[in-house]
Structure 1
């Protein structure tokens, strides 16, 4: 019995421990940068929102990096579980998409000319950038590579274009001081940096000239990390609208990616929590509204993580779905443990059961002896022995050595014994003393 109880408690404890470890919050390291970027602020807001949820399965631990390239390297080296990466950079081989954080567009424009100041031939097409100076907003090399892709599509040798990069904080002043003939910015359509740069390009009421990337579809075909896109009319505000008409361009995305070997269950839980609280962050971080589900197509540029795909497709497994096999095998083991425990307990009580069977046979023999007895003292001794047999039998029943049916049979035998003793005592009490003595002597010597 103790072994069976111990086994049962062990299995129940194992199942309870498994449930606890399966449902306890998991802390995920997420690489994001650079400092003071919108991406970092969004991740910090997500971290606080996840921590505020009472039943949150996922906790986030931001790891600040120098930028998307460094974040990708942290994921590739196993220093992070999640990362915010730029889709047109080298994507780590162990990275799989979880969500699209935001989409960015490439904006190429030429500032309006200043009154009274001579300038070179007016630039209205990308092909006219050869021999000109192009300012790129942002220090990342990825923006320069983006410009080169565009120039090559239009047959412009990048080596014949002078490219100068300006920090985001200095871009507006550089534009006002005419540090470049044309400018490139890459970011969300409503990016504050891009809007301020274009506002600085407006002079004397004249809007800048936006250079359309009409070959966007061809670029997307040759470079799968890019997509054909449009900048809506008036996207950058101002009067007149900037731009006055829709401008064709290319876009790329910032992705939340996870390590390929990260648990499917963990990634599904993260994705579920991410989209559950997304709307709660929109008031403080409008960029949160741009978070989208990943591309689940098999030919997607960044393959989707199975956990994220399960959430998107509505195939996320419940606790019972994930652990039903373990629970079933646990119940089978519990049943087997109970059977083994019952057999072992029965085996240990075999001697006690055999001893009780011997006592029951002795009681049956005493019934016959009581009916032949000629001595009240002998009957009293047998009565005392029967009381001892009764005690042992009740102990066996309490210990489980005998079943209720065996106890019933014993009660019948004990009742017959009591009747035999009572009848024999009544008979002996009616006989004269001398006759009792003669009968006892006869039984002792075999003669009368």
Structure 2
């Protein structure tokens, strides 16, 4: 009945993903749910995936366009991120003759800044450039930490920039705001071939950035911009039990609404793709919850319960038979003694000796003692004890009647004594 604690790998420490997972962990604990979460902070989605692959975590937050561990199965879609390509405006009075970049094909021969130090966004940029046949050898790709982007834009360290994150990402919005200078507005580069990219790379989907998504006045962008998106998934180890994953999925979607006020990104949590051709196969436990086929306790364990009861019944019967077999000799001995008691009834009625009757009485007492011991040991049943009691009562009556007859009539010559069996 104790809660199950699942280890969740997520990172980096101050990312939106980590904040949402920590919020879920706190909500599960406050609600005393059967599933609890323990957060393992990593350097990023690559390290989180490695933690799951190595068995250090039960759950992990992974990025759908990166390599997903072979032992990982989808539980939920945490959020979707979009690729944003933009060109900062040129400073007035400088480089007036500089070529203005209006589309992706014109990026050849220019320096492109990528927000983030990992390879993930660099690989995303390469996918986009290759779709437009831009020679990667003619492009200088520079990476900037999220804290360095604003300064890099002001210092004109790149001609264009790429960021990836939720549509309402503060990091992306701050970078674009830093691009607006001297009243100029950044130019957003549309990925018009988004459908083709999605066709060639199923981990991506065609998407749109709505007008004003990054704030500002005038709105940034001022019109809808076509782009591509990818998902961040909550994945579980394939070996994790279906019941545990189903319980976690049920709790996740039940408590999601409670943390939206503190973590707005929780509103983006969606059910996983349960199609057989999904990019990341869904975990059977999550699929059972989504499809409404989650098994109850009896559904899961009825077969085990039935077989256990059958095994207990068979074991009990075998044990009873074995105990009965072990006491077979004792029951046979008791039956012999009961037969002896019946024989002594007839002997007592014919006996002419008081001493002989006393000997038979002593033998009957010994038989009574053995019979009671057998009853206490379970070798003699209550019905057999009742039959023995009747025989014993008849014997005592016969002895009493015979003694009264012998003492009330004249003495006769002693007749041959009836042979007696030695008392056992």
Q: Identify the TM-score tier after normalising by the shorter chain.
A: 0.7 to 0.9
Q: How does 1:240-251 map to 2 (within 5 A)?
A: 240-251=218-229
* More deviation, 35-44/232-241: 35-44
1:283 aligned to which of 256, 261, 270: 261
Q: How does 1:369-384 map to 2 (within 5 A)?
A: 369-384=347-362
1:125 alignment counterpart:
103
1:85 alignment counterpart:
62
Instruction: Give 1:405 shift.
Output: 2.6
Contact 1:58 1:269 (8 Å CA) reproduced = no
Structure 2: distance between partners of 1:336 and 1:405:
26
Q: How does 1:40-79 map to 2 (within 5 A)?
A: 40-52=18-30, 54-62=32-40, 64-79=41-56
2:121 alignment counterpart:
143
Contact 2:204 2:229 (8 Å CA) reproduced = yes
**What is the aligned length?**
417
1:4 alignment counterpart:
none
Q: How does 1:161-310 map to 2 (within 5 A)?
A: 161-310=139-288
Secondary structure of the corresponding residue to residue 31 of structure 1: strand
* More deviation, 421-430/291-300: 421-430
Structure 1 residue runs of 5 or longer lacking an equivalent are 1-22
Contact 1:25 1:59 (8 Å CA) reproduced = no
* More deviation, 151-160/41-50: 41-50
Instruction: Give 1:53 shift.
Output: 5.2
Structure 1: distance between partners of 2:387 and 2:43:
88
Cα displacement string for residues 77-133 of structure 1 (whole angstroms, at most 9, x for unaligned residues): 444443322111222333322221211001122234544443524333222323333
Instruction: Give 1:189 shift.
Output: 0.7
Q: Does 1:107 align with 2:84?
A: yes
Cα displacement string for residues 399-425 of structure 1 (whole angstroms, at most 9, x for unaligned residues): 222223322322322232233233323
Contact 1:266 1:307 (8 Å CA) reproduced = yes
2:414 alignment counterpart:
441
Instruction: Give 1:167 shift.
Output: 1.4
TM-score by length of 2: 0.88
Instruction: Give 1:375 shift.
Output: 3.5
TM-score by length of 1: 0.84
Query: Structure 1 414/94 Cα, relative in aligned 2: closer, same or farther at 3 Å?
Result: closer
Secondary structure of the corresponding residue to residue 414 of structure 2: helix
1:97 alignment counterpart:
74
Cα displacement string for residues 371-401 of structure 1 (whole angstroms, at most 9, x for unaligned residues): 1223344334433433332333233223222
Query: Structure 1 108/375 Cα, relative in aligned 2: closer, same or farther at 3 Å?
Result: same
Query: Structure 1 377/41 Cα, relative in aligned 2: closer, same or farther at 3 Å?
Result: same
2:372 aligned to which of 375, 394, 406: 394
Structure 1: distance between partners of 2:414 and 2:395:
25
Query: Structure 1 408/129 Cα, relative in aligned 2: closer, same or farther at 3 Å?
Result: same
Cα displacement string for residues 250-295 of structure 1 (whole angstroms, at most 9, x for unaligned residues): 0011122233344434433433343343333323222222222221
Tell me how large the CA RMSD over aligned residues is. Answer: 2.7
1:346 alignment counterpart:
324
Query: Structure 1 386/56 Cα, relative in aligned 2: closer, same or farther at 3 Å?
Result: same
Query: Structure 1 442/174 Cα, relative in aligned 2: closer, same or farther at 3 Å?
Result: closer
Structure 2 residue runs of 5 or longer lacking an equivalent are 419-424
Contact 1:294 1:304 (8 Å CA) reproduced = yes
